[in-house]
């Protein structure tokens, strides 16, 4: 399995020297950035299109297609790298920033050349204070060498890269909220369309790409878009960084072929801890619908997770499929590559509550269905999980979630609704048993606290 030996992004993870420019150049770094400055922008774009690179931030949208939405006659175009990584379960971008910041910078130079960008920004999550410093050091080194600034690499191309730091708001990972925040305002998402590629930062065409997406570009330029496409499968090129947490022997970040299934992934992570059985796996960050143990033979690849008939469709009530619109149903999605593995001892109702609690906290409050719905959902999920459930609570959760989905400005609403419906569809009995149990016991117990969650998990 030669493809398992290939590393596009993670080759130098865990090597503290790798973040220094000298070391990076010893291993061939910045050659592709330099080459890019001598290439025609359209040729770079061509390679990216051929590569089948798909966005690693969550939606899996083809990067070459997205870049093509920028109006041809645009005078000012911005590139914004989304380094806000805050989708629970996801911790791969932080590894890139931490171990290989120059790879991101080189990718940005390539993207900027292709998109005719002269001002690029990195929006980094506020909590990542160490990574901010690492990245700023790397930028300073690149400026000192003339790889950024005026006439980079001696060409006639100018490029400035500026880091902007978030201040603690999950919603700022959503691209339009990110732009609002970068402009210096509250992180409020905007209605799409217009899409940022047409009207983004300060009203100008703006490409927002995830850190990992951009970090693939040096390899694509070096080996060609076709080679990248060949490494992948179907309409998805390249490898993928997967971050695995939860009840496996060796959690961590792995760079893997897209053919790897959920079961393979657990094996690669050394199997389940203490030989326990797997109960549930979230494949792409907590926004994505959960999978059960018998749905793990499907590759963790964008299209497979959406379409493979071995994955059960999410329902709003037993037998009633959730309608994604356009005659599509919802299975799950590869999302951010954040994989959460839960073993047989996990209380699914508790997991569902904690995830909903997160979304309720992070809702920006602009749309009523999201603001009210996530709060209400959390309340009901809490009482179910902590043993004070009431008759009809499971149906109530499903109907609140159904009322949020598709009715909000941004996808945070869906991100709360979809996993809720999936948990209920696939673990309904567990929710109902919890409610039945609490009805059988004292109905007037005090409300639960975190301490009880600890006991239960």
Partner 1 sequence: MPAKQLTPEIEAWIEQRWSRFPEGAAGKALTLGVLYQAQEAFGHVDTEVIDLVATRLGLTAAHVRGVATFYTMINPREVGRYHLQVCTNIGCMLEGAYKVFEHCKARLGVENKETTADGNVTLSEVECLAACGYGPVAQIAEKGKPEIPLYFEELDLETVDKILDGLEKGEVPTELGR
Ligand X SMILES: Cc1cc2nc3c(=O)[nH]c(=O)nc-3n(C[C@H](O)[C@H](O)[C@H](O)COP(=O)(O)O)c2cc1C
Backbone phi and psi for residue 200, each to the nearest 5 degrees, phi listed first: -125, -120
Single out the residue of 59, 227, 245, 439 in contact with partner 1 (rule: CB under 8 A).
245
Q: List the x/- string, 197-226, binding to partner 1 by CB under 8 A.
A: -----x------------------------
Single out the residue of 187, 205, 389, 413 in contact with partner 1 (rule: CB under 8 A).
187
- For the chain, report the end-to-end CA distance as a whole number of angstroms: 38
Min CB(362)–ligand X separation in Å: 8
Nearer to ligand X, 290 or 394 (CB): 290
Nearer to partner 1, 247 or 382 (CB): 247
Residue 70 touches partner 1, criterion: CB under 8 A: no
Task: Provide DSSP, 86-146.
Answer: -STT--SHHHHHHH-HHHHHHHHHHHHHHHT-SEEEEEE-TT-HHHHHHHHHHHHHHHHTT
Residue 181 touches partner 1, criterion: CB under 8 A: yes
* Residue 321 touches which of ligand X, ligand SF4, partner 1, none (Cβ within 5-8 Å per kind): none
* Residue 148 touches which of ligand X, ligand SF4, partner 1, none (Cβ within 5-8 Å per kind): none
Quick one: three-class SS letters along 142-193? HHHCCCCECCHHHCCCCEEEEEEECCCCHHHHCHHHHHHHHCCCCCCCCCCC
Residue 42 touches partner 1, criterion: CB under 8 A: no
User: Which residues of this protein are in contact with ligand SF4, per CB under 6 A?
Assistant: 171, 189, 363-367, 370-371, 408-410, 412-413
Q: Which of 153, 161, 72, 146 is nearest to 111 (CA)?
A: 161
Alpha helix stretches (DSSP H) within 393-449: 393-404, 412-440
User: Which residues of this protein are in contact with ligand X, per CB under 6 A?
Assistant: 55-59, 61, 82, 84-87, 171, 173-175, 208-210, 213, 410-412, 415
Long-range contacts of 309-313 (CB under 8 A, 24+ apart): 312/425, 312/426, 313/425
Nearer to ligand SF4, 346 or 408 (CB): 408
Q: Which residues contact 108 (CB under 8 A, 6 or more apart)?
A: 79, 81, 120, 122, 161, 214
Show contacts with partner 1 in window 332-391 (CB under 8 A): 338, 340, 342, 346, 350-351, 354-355, 358, 361-362
* Residue 164 touches which of ligand X, partner 1, ligand SF4, none (Cβ within 5-8 Å per kind): partner 1
Rounded Cα gap, residues 431 and 436, in angstroms: 9
Task: Judge contact between 382 and 375, C-beta under 8 A.
Answer: no
Nearer to partner 1, 134 or 317 (CB): 134
How distant is the alpha carbon of residue 323 from its chain centre? Answer: 23
Strands 239-246 and 252-257: antiparallel
* Residue 1 touches which of ligand X, partner 1, ligand SF4, none (Cβ within 5-8 Å per kind): none
Min CB(371)–ligand SF4 separation in Å: 5
Residue 88 touches partner 1, criterion: CB under 8 A: yes
Tokens 């330099």, residue located? 34
Binding-site ranges for partner 1 (CB under 8 A):
76, 85-91, 93-94, 119, 125-130, 133, 160, 162, 164-170, 181-187, 202, 243-247, 251-253, 282, 286, 338, 340, 342, 346, 350-351, 354-355, 358, 361-362, 450-451, 453-454, 457
């Amino acid at each position: 399995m030669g493809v398992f030996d290939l590393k596009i992004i993670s080759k130098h993870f865990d090597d503290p020297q790798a973040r220094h420019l000298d070391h990076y150049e010893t291993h061939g770094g910045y050659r592709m950035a330099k080459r890019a400055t001598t290439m025609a922008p359209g040729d770079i774009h061509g390679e990216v299109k051929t590569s089948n690179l798909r966005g690693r931030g969550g939606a899996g949208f083809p990067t070459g297609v997205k870049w093509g939405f920028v109006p041809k006659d645009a005078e000012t175009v911005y590139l914004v790298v989304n380094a806000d990584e805050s989708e629970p379960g996801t911790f791969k971008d932080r590894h890139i920033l931490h171990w290989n910041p120059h790879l991101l910078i080189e990718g940005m130079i390539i993207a900027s050349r292709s998109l005719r960008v002269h001002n690029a920004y990195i929006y980094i999550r506020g909590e990542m204070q160490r990574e901010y410093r690492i990245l700023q050091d790397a930028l300073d080194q690149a400026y000192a060498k003339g790889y950024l600034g005026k006439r980079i690499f001696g060409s006639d191309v100018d490029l400035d890269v500026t880091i902007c730091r978030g201040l603690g708001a999950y919603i700022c990972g959503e691209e339009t909220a990110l732009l609002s925040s970068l402009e210096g305002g509250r992180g409020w998402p905007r209605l799409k369309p217009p899409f940022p590629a047409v009207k983004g930062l300060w009203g100008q065409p703006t490409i927002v790409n995830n850190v990992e997406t951009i970090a693939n570009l040096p390899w694509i330029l070096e080996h060609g878009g076709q080679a990248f496409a060949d490494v992948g499968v179907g309409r998805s090129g390249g490898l993928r960084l997967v971050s695995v947490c939860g009840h496996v022997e060796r959690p961590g970040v792995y760079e893997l072929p897209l053919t790897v299934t959920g079961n393979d992934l657990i094996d690669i992570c050394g199997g389940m801890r203490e030989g326990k059985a797997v109960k549930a796996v979230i494949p792409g960050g907590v926004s994505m619908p959960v999978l059960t143990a018998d749905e793990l033979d499907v590759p963790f690849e964008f299209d497979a997770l959406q379409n493979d008939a071995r994955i059960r469709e999410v329902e709003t009530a037993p037998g009633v499929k959730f309608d994604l619109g356009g005659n599509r149903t919802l299975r799950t999605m590869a999302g951010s590559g954040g994989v959460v593995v839960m073993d047989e001892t996990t209380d699914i109702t508790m997991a569902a509550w904690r995830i909903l609690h997160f979304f309720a906290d992070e809702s920006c409050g602009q749309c009523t269905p999201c603001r009210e719905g996530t709060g209400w959902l959390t309340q009901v999920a809490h009482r179910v999980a902590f043993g004070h459930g009431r008759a009809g609570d499971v149906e109530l959760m499903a109907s609140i979630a159904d009322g949020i989905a598709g009715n909000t400005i941004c996808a945070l609403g869906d991100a709360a609704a979809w996993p809720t419906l999936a948990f209920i569809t696939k673990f309904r009995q567990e929710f109902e048993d919890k409610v039945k149990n609490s009805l059988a016991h004292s109905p007037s117990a005090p409300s639960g606290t975190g301490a009880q969650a600890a006991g239960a998990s």
